[in-house]
Amino acid sequence: MRRRVGLLGHDAPLYEDLTAAENVRFAVRASGASPTRVGPALDRLGLVGRLAKTPAGRLSAGQRRRCALAVLVARAPELWLLDEPHAGLDASARTLLAALIAEAASAGAAVVLSSHEPDLAVPLAHRVVVMAGGRIAEERVGGRAPRAPVAGVPAPGAVIPAPEIVAAADVAVPDVTGATDAGAGAGAGDADALVGEHAGVA
């Protein structure tokens, strides 16, 4: 199961004494993925030249996030679990992250993304689930959903009515059948988003 799941937590899970390239190679080897994916992943995340040879412990926060994302890209897991993936990334890296999520979903992976930045997260989702007090308060269509309106679900871009809701968790799954509400399983081809009252909502 672990080989099929990739996790990017709030802190990049890297070995401090290994270089960026060594971290990616180690993760790929441990997961049984093809080593031929290491180079392209490093290139895609801009970890080339000196950066590729720099120990993770000496990388900036943004570079560490890039390295952790390179691990995911190289491993190509079936399920991506991303917690605050935009944290520490500059504008260009955030644009790249959106592309990586879209590509993973298009390739058949399920991507579960939690974020306190709904302006960045919700556009990546097919469905948004608003949560308050640990309960589902509302569902609406996300920015990526190319599907017919669902009864009772606001259209893409609709304003969330509860102003106190500030945290978001986004699920980017490749089909329109995925779900996160009530413990339902995610399906291929869908992307969902959860929005909660405060930090730590997943």
In this structure, the answer to whether residues 67 and 87 fall within a common structural domain is no
Structural tokens at position 194: 């959860």
Helix (H) or strand (E) holding 66: helix 61-75
pLDDT at 146: 55
pLDDT at 67: 95
Q: What are the backbone angles phi and psi of residue 76, rounded to the nearest 5°?
A: 50, 60
Residue 174 lies in a domain: yes
Its domain, for residue 64, covers 11-77
Residue 107 lies in a domain: yes
pTM: 0.70
Most confidently predicted of 34-48, 102-116, 170-184, 186-200: 34-48
pLDDT at 7: 87
In angstroms, the CA 200 to CA 188 distance is 26
pLDDT at 196: 41
Residue 161 lies in a domain: yes
In this structure, the answer to whether residues 193 and 139 fall within a common structural domain is yes
Please say whether the beta carbons of 123 and 99 come within 8 A: no
Q: Work out how many domains the chain is built from and give that number.
A: 2
In this structure, the answer to whether residues 22 and 111 fall within a common structural domain is no
In this structure, the answer to whether residues 71 and 92 fall within a common structural domain is no
What letter would DSSP give residue 84? S
Per-residue pLDDT tens digits for 129-177: 776 777 888 787 777 765 444 455 445 444 433 322 223 343 333 333 3
Structural tokens at position 165: 């809701």
